[in-house]
Every structure is written in structure tokens, then in C-alpha cells.
Amino acid sequence: MEPPAAKRSRGCPAEPDERDAGAGAARGQGRPEALLDLSAKRVAESWAFEQVEERFSRVPEPVQKRIVFWSFPRSEREICMYSSLGYPPPEGEHDARVPFTRGLHLLQSGAVDRVLQVGFHLSGNIREPGGPGEPERLYHVSISFDRCKITSVSCGCDNRDLFYCAHVVALSLYRIRHARQVELRLPISETLSQMNRDQLQKFVQYLISAHHTEVLPTAQRLADEILLLGSEINLVHGAPDPTAGAGIEDANCWHLDEEQIQEQVKQLLSNGGYYGASQQLRSMFSKVREMLRMRDSNGARMLILMTEQFLQDPRLALWRQQGAGMTDKCRQLWDELGALWVCVVLSPHCKPEERAGWLQLLSRWDKLDVCPLEEGNYSFDGPSLQPTVAPIPELLQKGSTCITNTEGWVGHPLDPIGCLCRALLEACRLEEETLTLYPDSGPEKRKVAYQHVPVPGSPGESYLVLALEVALLGLGQQRALPEGLYAQDKVVRNEEQLLALLEEVELDERLVQVLRKQAGLLLEGGPFSGFGEVLFRESVPMHTCARYLFTALLPHDPDLAYRLALRAMRLPVLETAFPAGEPHPSPLDSIMSNRFPRWFILGHLETRQCELASTMLTAAKGDPKWLHAVLGSIQQNIHSPALLFKLAQDACKTATPVSAPPDTTLLGIALELGLQVRAVRWMREGPQALMNIMQNWYSLFTPVEAATIVAVTGTTHATLLRLQLDTSRREELWACARTLALQCAMKDPQNCALPALTLCEKNHSAFEAAYQIVLDAAAGGLGHAHLFTVARYMEHRGLPLRAYKLATLALAQLSIAFNQDSHPAVNDVLWACSLSHSLGRHELSAIVPLIIRSIHCAPMLSDILRRWTLSAPGLGPLGARRATKPLGADRAPLCQLLDAAVTAYITTSHSRLTHISPRHYGDFIEFLGKARETFLLAPDGHLQFAQFLENLKQTYKGKKKLMLLVRERFG
């Protein structure tokens, strides 16, 4: 017979004398009336559902539906349970499979009856309708409980799942929702204590008679022991009562069936290759987390049991013997196991003796031969990580540093950043979100809701802000990539897990400010930041972190978002900084990973780099400035032809939406990236092959492809360094590129003139030849848009007179009608007028006739006129011509422009009035207001405007409502 202590640990009640001395005395020596009241009160206070009922009644129905009863089979008819409000069952048909849903349906259909509570024991019958042609089935359910915890259940069904069956759910919900209808009785021992000897004998005999086939052998055995003086049963004071519950001093925890947990884990590990087995093990890990969250001491015990089964996995010895690493699924499970042990050992609620025992266990397990190494790659014997030692695309020249953290916080075996970030976020979850059993279950994952929770003693600080700062500090830390395949893979997974947590947080204004601040610190963080200006060549790239920051910052601070993401595009290990004396392999070959055999995840990192670039390209659509900045970064940092081609495909797809016009700039970038794939392959063949391609470009490429891709890519600084050319060979390559550019400009001046000027700007004769090609093309049909573009280029290069010349040629081809105030060339015209004004009165006088001849839009003419009257001409680089005071609108050459503007307003007014509708009357009145401002620039402008209005009133007197509005506004 088991001792009382053993019985209590398995859910049996404590012995009466240990549990309650008063109750034990009552059973042996008579029972005072007050003792009954005390026992009844203790039952009521300890009954789990009494306390749940009041809270449960306030919980909305959708949240009630999320109550799930977790169980482990103990024997055929008894299982223990853990409950949670955190599991969101999937909607629709899949929801019907959840035991809670079926149990709720049974309750609502009146299937629960004969509910009886005896002390700490609840029982009832559940009638479940059978299927078509099947009879109704009756299940008898019983539940034992103790201090808000169910210790065991028994049901007539054969359910062996990890969840309680629907019948247990139905009975539990009945007790919660219909507490007043449940028949209550004291523990059976209290009832027996009220009986005399005759009543007790009658009770026992009736009980045996009702169940003699089941209990007679047990009854006879117990009778024999009781009648035997000195037997163990006679040495124990009192007797067990399955309805009395545990003693007040007993451990307050859910029942844990150790054997079943071990069997369950063993079985799941044996099926470790299957997705379902891994998911169930993760569910058990989630259960441990829930126990730890609820400060249930069973959490640590359950983790010990699971760890012991993991160490008995026969695959461990096989993998160690073969020198092979674990499978990814198994590794992830071990990671979760380790993370849980971190939570257990660091728990502030554990006792010192408990922590000492756990540490002793961990130390013992660590010494086992089968205990997997953190690295997990047993056969690799590569070089150890040694930062490059050197004097201070010398360290600065190479763009690298040896100052770094060899052991990073993200990817560390103990996952310090992940643990801290999760702990801070946990404190910020809304109340109903704090318990999460299956965070990824269901077809639609619920978005976790967080709130700012103040940090005690730190005014203005919140745990949510701290969680974001901690995560970004860890993710942005410059750190060396660890050795070994699994350790590197762990870095990647830890990054992704942290970012997944951050993506759950909805950014408010307060968090956006934290993001902006941290992003700035990362950019200025020097060698301690992975976004610093110089990097250790083997440091972990920042692509994944930068992608999150870019997406989060873009709506609030685009400039900072692009600066940060462009800085993160680097992949230092593929750059060309090699130790002195070593041969330089082909730098654009992604097979360079063979040069660094310990960079097992290089391909993955290059893919992340490509994803960051693609995200920036998509976001920069419609913004030429950032598109070209992203393109330059791609060309400098991405070396894999396959990834370049993928980026070209992504850019082309983004540039050509189905329901909108294409983005020509992005299309050009897609083309350039595609052609760069070819250029990458040419450079592998050496400089002579590249020069041959340039000399024979017309048989391979179109002019625009040759000028914008071939020539540019073949002469960039990075390319010249990679080809290892001396000065004479470099100049030969440059000369070949300039010749190619001039040839392309002659064949296609519209698309190739500007690239030719750019390539030839360092060679005077070639530049003059390119400029002359542009002038010749202007007479031959080079459009005003291209001429304005080249003109702006000339001004930017410090050649304002040439810019002015090209601008006048562009104006000569331009014609803007009276109603084209939003013409695409408006900004170019205003720029040309500003340029001529800055050069002096002579240039301004020469351009006025061109303006008058080309532009018939009255608002544009008046805008130009007003700009020219604000300051004196000649304030540009040609200061010798600077005038002393602004020009008057009534004096030459501006008086001609004033007359043209007045005439344009008169002509436009008549044109608009011919077919005007009442809904445009208000716009026309505003138009007349702008016209009056221009008329008044002339000395007799008020008389001209009054005469103009009188003419309108007479001509359009039939439009009475409109003329009434004119009189009200202008008289």
C-alpha cells in the first residue's frame, strides 16, 4: 500500500490528520456542528469553478469559445487537464472539430443531466446523439478538482487526444454556467461521520450489493486487512477520501502524469520526420511556457521529463557517430528546449535550491556523449575566426574594420535579446492576449494587441518602447558570423524571429520616434553598428533588419529609410579586400563562397540582399532620384548574375502594371540590370574581351544598351579595380568607351546624347564632339524634352552659356496652348527663364521673343513676368553683367511679355466663355482675378481691365448669372 505522501502526489487526498486535525478528530471522536460549516466553507472556497464562474460570466462569447482543455492520457479512463484562454480555434468547419465547440453544443442541446457534486468531485451523464441509424450514446463523466485546478477526469469515451473530450467540456461548462442547479454534497467522509454503526454497515452492504461484481474482491481484501491487528491499514490514522481534496499545506499544482508525458514525447520523437509530430512537440513546449507563466511548479518538472526523452532519442548517437548534423526540424526543437531552460533557470520566482538542482541536472546532461553540441557540425575542422589585422570597393581604404564582437547577441545560444524582448512584450499584451497556446494556429492568425505599460520609476518610459529598442540594438549590432552551418543558420532564424515579433507591434507616433532615433544611432554607430561606415569583412550583413526598418520608416521619413537601407546593401565578405600577396579571384563570381568555406549560408544572405534591393526598387517607383540611387547600390554590391536577373524581372513587373501606364524610369533600370548580367560574364573573360565587345557593339546591342550599360559598366571605378589594369590599359579602355558613346550618340541622339556627354566629360575633345552632336541633332529633330535635359546637365557641370543655348533651342520647338497650364514642360520653361535671368539682361532680352512665340498660356506668362520683376538680372555666375535694380514690367524687354500676357488673358477668357457651363462659373471668376493682377502691372492697367470687363458684359449679357457674379466681384 502506498504511503499517504505518494497518494497526494498522484492526486489522492491527504490523510485526514495531515490535512485537517479537526476533521480527523471529528471522524474518530464525534463531530461538532461548527465543523460541518468549516468543511463546507473550505469546499466552496477551493472549488475551481466557483471562482471561474464570476469572471467567466463577464467574458464575451468569442473569448469563451477560446477556452481549451489540455490533457495528457493517464490511464484508459483518467487524464489530467490544463486550461487556457489563449488558443484561438480556426473559424468555419475546422472550428467544429475543437472539443470545446462540440462540448458547448452538447450543453446547449440539453445533453447534460444528473449532475452531482460531492466535495471536490463532480459527476454527471452526457447523452450524445448517435449518427444516422445509430442509437443514442450515454457517457458517465467525473471530475476531481482542488483550489482552482482540475486534478483528474474520467469519461466513458475512449478519447486519447491531448485535449479533453467534448463530454468533459460539457460537464465543466454546465458547472460554470448553471452553478445553482448543481446538487451539492459535503465530502463523503463528512457524510459518513454522521452515521452510527448500523447506518455505516447498511451503507457498506448496499454499496457492495449495487456494485458487487466490481468491488467485492476489493471490499473483501480491505475487510481482511482491517480485521488483521497490526496491519498497515490499521497503523494509518483516518482513511482516504477521493472527494475531500488535498490539504491546505499541499503543493498547489495541476496533476502531472509523468509516465504518459514520457511515452508521448518518445512516440513523437520517433515520428520526428513528420510535420504533425513536430507541431505536437511545439504544442507541449507551449504548454510548459503557459505553466511557467502561471507559476505552476509542474512546468519545470514537465520540461525535465521532456529533456530526458530528447536525450534518449536514438538518432543522436547515430548522428554523432556519422559526424552529421541534426535535421533542421530536430534542431529547432532542441533550440526551443534550450530556450525554455533559460526561462526556467532565470525565473525570479524559483527557489535557490530548485535552481541549484536544475543546474546540476543541466551539467550532468551536458557531459553525456549523446548531448548535441551547440554547433551541431561534428566533422567540420575549418579555420578559426581571426579578424584581419592591418594598419588603420588601409582598413579605412578597404572599407573594413577589425573592431567587432566575435560573439553576437542575436544567434547566441542563450538568445539574450530574444528572451528580453519577449519578456518586455509580454508585459505589454492586453489582458485577454496574455495566454497563447498555439500562436500560429488557424488559417488567419490573430494580430496580437500591445499597449504602452509605464516602467515603474522611469517617467515617460514604457516596456513597449524598451522592447523595440532592445530588439534593434541586438539586430543592428556589428558582429562576426559564427563558425559552422548550424550556428550561422541560428543567426538567421533568430533575426527572423525577432523581426516577426516586431512586425506584430502596431507602430504609433511614439514608437515611430523610437525607430527614427535608433535608425540614426545605427547609422552613426561606428564599428559597434552593423550600419556603420566601415565593417569587418566577415561581419553579419544587415539586410533582413534593414528591410524591416525601411518598410517601417518609409511612410514617416523616406530620406532616413533609404539612407539606412542603402547603407545595409553591403556584403563585405564578397568585396575585394584580400590579404597582401594572395591572388585575386574573379570578384563577380558568386562561387566566391568557395573562397570562404565557412560561410555556409552565403547563398541565403545574397538572397536576403536581393530582397532588400527589390523592396527598395518597388517603393521607389515614380521617384527617379531614389531609383537611380538604388540602381547604383545594386550595381556596386550585388554580384550574382542570377540575382541581378531576378531584380531585373521584379523591376519590369513593377514598372508595367496591368491597369496603369508603365514607369519608363523603372523599365530602364530593369533593362540596365538585365544587361549588367551580361557585363558580369564579360568581365570574367578579361579586359580584352570587354574591349572587343565595345568595338563591335553594333552587332550585339542597340545604341542605348551600348551607351548606358556596356560603356558605363565597363569603365566604373569598381570594374577597373577588379580587372587589375595599369594606367595605360585603363586609358585604352576609356578611349574605347568614349568612341562607343560618340557612335551611339550619332545613331540615337535622343537616348544616347546625355550618356555620351557623361562618359566624355573628362576628355575635352571628346566632350566637344558630343556637344556638337547634340547641337546638330537639335536641328534634326531632337525633341525639346531631351534638349532641356541636356541643358540642365550643362548647367550642373558649370557651363551656363551652353545650357542657355540648348534651352533656347528647346524653346524654339515648344508650343504651349492657352489651356495647357499643366503641360509637362512647364518646369523646364520656368527653369530656362530663371537661367536666362541669372545670366543677365542681354540673355533675358533674347529669350523673351521665344517665350512669347512658344507660350500662349496666360497664367504661365504672368508667372514668368512676375519672377523676372522680383530681382535684377545678372545675379548668376556671370557677375560682370549684374544690373543695379529689377526690371519694370512696363519697360523693355518685359513690356513685350506683359502685352503678351494681357492678350493671352483676353483671348483665353473669350475661349472659355464660348462653351462655359454654370458649374465652372466659380473657376472663371478666380481666373479673372488673376487676370486683373496682371493687367495692373501696366501703368493704365486698371483702365484696360475695366474696358475688358465692359466688353465681356456686353458680349455675354445673355449669361445673366455669370455677369451678375462678375459685377459682384469686380463692379
The secondary structure of 473-484 as a DSSP string is: HHHTB-BBPPSS
Distinct helix (H) and strand (E) counts, the chain: 45, 9
pLDDT exceeds cutoff 60 at 393: yes
Which residue in 589, 410, 584 sits closest to 492, CA to CA? 410
User: Is 415 a member of any domain?
Assistant: yes
Is residue 127 scored above 90 in pLDDT? Answer: yes
- The alpha carbon of residue 814 and the mean position of all alpha carbons in its chain are separated, in whole angstroms, by 50
Determine the residue type at 439.
P
Lowest pLDDT segment from 190-204, 362-376, 548-562, 639-653: 362-376
Residues 179 and 43 in one domain: yes
User: What pLDDT was estimated at residue 277?
Assistant: 81
> Of 220-229, 276-285, 478-487, which one has max mean pLDDT?
220-229
Q: In this structure, what C-alpha cell is assigned to residue 591?
A: 562561387
Q: Is residue 69 part of a domain?
A: yes
What's the first-to-final CA gap in the chain, in angstroms? 115
The reported pLDDT for the residue numbered 111 is 94
Establish if 44 belongs to a structural domain: yes
State the pLDDT at residue 463: 94
Domain boundary among 522, 542, 567: 567
CB contact set of 472 (below 8 Å; sequence gap of 6+): 515, 518, 522, 545, 549
Judged by phi (left if over 0) then psi (alpha if -120 to 50, else beta), residue 399 lies in: left
Residue 266: which of 229, 307, 228 has the closest Cα? 307
Domain co-membership, 199 together with 292? no
pLDDT of residue 27: 36
Taking alpha carbons only, the member of 753, 800, 756, 760 closest to residue 781 is 753
pLDDT of residue 767: 95
DSSP states along 38-65: HHHHHHHHH-HHHHHHHHHHHS-HHHHT
pLDDT of 341 above 70: yes
Give me the pLDDT at residue 8, please: 33
Give, as one character, the DSSP assignment of residue 804. Answer: H
Q: What is the pLDDT of residues 534-592, one digit of tens each?
A: 888 888 999 999 999 999 999 999 999 999 999 999 998 887 444 433 434 443 343 34
Mean pLDDT of the region 379-408: 49
Q: How far apart are CA 68 and CA 943, in angstroms?
A: 88
| Judgement on whether residues 181 and 201 belong to the same structural domain of the protein | no
Same domain, yes or no, for 418 and 554?
yes
pLDDT given for residue 591 in this prediction: 38
52 and 162, same domain (yes or no): yes
Q: Which amino acid is at 689?
A: A
- Judged against a pLDDT cut of 80, whether residue 76 lies above it is answered with no
Judgement on whether residues 921 and 948 belong to the same structural domain of the protein: yes
Residue-wise pLDDT for 856-885, tens only, equals: 899 899 888 888 887 777 765 554 445 567
Q: How confident is the model at residue 255 (pLDDT cuts 50, 70, 90)?
A: low
Cβ-proximal residues to 564 (8 Å cutoff; 6+ apart), any chain = 519, 522, 523, 531, 546, 549, 550, 553
529 shares its domain with 412:
yes
Stated as kind and residue range, the H or E segment containing 451 is none
Identify the pLDDT of residue 86.
Answer: 39
Measure the CA–CA gap between 82 and 69, rounded to whole angstroms: 6
Contact 588, 684 (CB under 8 A): yes
Q: Which of 367, 383, 417 delimits the end of a domain? A: 367
CB atoms within 10 A of CB 595: 14
The verdict on 109 and 248 lying in the same domain is: yes
Q: What pLDDT is recorded for position 289?
A: 86
Mean pLDDT, to the nearest integer, of 163-182? 86
Question: Quick check: bond before 661 cis, omega within 30?
Answer: no
H/E element holding 557?
none
Contact 483, 382 (CB under 8 A): yes
- According to DSSP, residue 97 is labeled G
Q: Is residue 811 a contact partner of residue 832, using CB atoms and an 8 Å limit? A: yes
Report the C-alpha dihedral over residues 717, 723, 728, 730, rounded to 10 degrees: -30
| Structural domain count of the chain | 5
Kindly indicate the confidence band of residue 377, based on its pLDDT and cuts at 50, 70 and 90: very low
Q: Is the pLDDT assigned to residue 599 strictly greater than 90?
A: no
Query: Percent of the chain, pLDDT > 70?
Result: 78
What is the Cα Rg of the chain in Å? 42
- What lies within 8 Å, CB to CB, of 488 at 6+ separation is 411, 481, 482, 599, 600, 601
Angle among Cα 795, 798, 800 to the nearest 5 degrees reads 50
Q: pLDDT digits over 476-499, tens only?
A: 999 988 887 788 888 998 999 999
Query: What would the pLDDT profile of 1-39 be if each residue is shown by its tens digit?
Result: 333 333 333 333 333 333 333 333 333 333 334 333 444
**Per-residue pLDDT band at 163 (split at 50, 70, 90):** low
pLDDT on residue 446: 60
pLDDT, position 405: 63
Q: 102 falls in which pLDDT band (50, 70, 90)? A: confident
Residue 578's pLDDT is 41
pLDDT in tens, 952-970: 888 888 888 888 888 888 8
| Mean pLDDT calculated for residue range 913-917 | 84
Whether residue 178 is contained in a domain is answered as yes
Segment among 161-165, 389-393, 726-730 with least mean pLDDT: 389-393
Closest alpha carbon to 664 in 831, 827, 807, 785: 785
Alpha helices, DSSP H only, in 228-348?
Answer: 232-235, 258-270, 275-293, 298-311, 314-322, 328-345
Q: Is residue 206 part of a domain?
A: yes
Do 54 and 106 reside in the same domain of the chain?
yes
* Cβ count near 470 (within 10 Å): 21
Percent over 90 (pLDDT), the chain? 29
In the three-class reduction of DSSP (H, G, I as helix; E, B as strand; rest coil), residue 368 is classed as: coil
Q: What is the mean pLDDT of residues 663-684?
A: 76
| Residue 702 zone, left/alpha/beta (φ > 0; ψ -120 to 50; rest) | beta
Q: Is residue 83 part of a domain?
A: yes
> Which structural domain range is residue 498 located in?
407-432+448-567
Would residue 780 count as lying in a domain?
no
Q: Please indicate, yes or no, if residue 10 is contained in any of the structural domains.
A: no
Residues 223 and 176 both lie in one domain: no
Burial class (CB in 10 A: 0-12, 13-18, 19+), 380: middle
Question: Quick one: 209 and 271 in the same domain?
Answer: no
| pLDDT (average), residues 667-681 | 76
What residue has cell string 560573439?
Answer: 407
Q: Which of 6-10, 624-628, 692-696 has the lowest mean pLDDT?
A: 6-10
**How do residues 407-454 score in pLDDT, each as one tens digit?**
788 988 888 899 889 889 988 987 654 444 334 444 445 667 899 999
Is 239's pLDDT higher than 80? yes
Answer yes or no: do 228 and 249 share one domain: no
Please enumerate in sequence order all residues whose Cβ is within 8 A of that of 779, keeping only pairs 6 or more positions apart, or say none: none
Write down the pLDDT at residue 160.
59
Q: Give the distance from CA 38 to its chain's centroid.
A: 57
The continuous run of DSSP H or E covering 210 comes out as helix 197-210
For residue 248, the model assigns a pLDDT of 67
* Average per-residue pLDDT for the chain: 79
Q: Which among 255, 285, 306 is the end of a domain?
A: 255
